[in-house]
Amino acid sequence: MIFGNIGSIISDHYSSLGQETGLKTPYDLVFLALVFALLPVVVGFSLANYVVLWSGFIAASAPVLSVLTGFSINTIILLMRYDEDGSHPYEERTVRKTKEFTLYSILAGVVLIICLVFGFILSRIDGAVGSEIAFVVSGIVYTLMAHYFLTLLVITHRLWSLIHGDVL
């Protein structure tokens, strides 16, 4: 199936995130859900309540998000060149987790860019129904942006571990 590995990318990311933070109990998983799901939703829909998505914002943010997603693609290509022969198990685990986080950020970036395209189209709808749709689309886009930026912070942490752990 063409999209069969999307679920694997998501589950690998969150299982690695749980291992990375040492969070293993059900309460810890709830904490991760609060930080990476509920917090972006609250931020996203709070922003949507005050600032509805408009075409100028989309035109300005789409190139930025495209560059950040391209950065993630470049990172994964560089990590694919890492040779595991004779490396320390910590190094292998660190590189593998960084790959998982980076794959997830590529997925999140692509989904966000697709939502921005649909947001641009829907931002042109006028009227009462259009304002309700604009609020929902704005909330979704802002939520995805908040989640994407949290994911980039996790990747930054992993890259710091690679650099300061002298893994590469």
- Cβ atoms of 139 and 133 within 8 Å: the answer is no
pTM as predicted: 0.79
* Segment (H or E) for 107: helix 89-122
User: What's 51's DSSP letter?
Assistant: S
How far is 101 from 9, CA to CA, in rounded Å? 9
**Burial level of 84, CB count in 10 A (0-12/13-18/19+)?**
exposed
Q: Which residues of the chain have a pLDDT value below 50?
A: 168
- Cβ atoms of 105 and 148 within 8 Å: the answer is yes
- pLDDT the model gives residue 168: 46
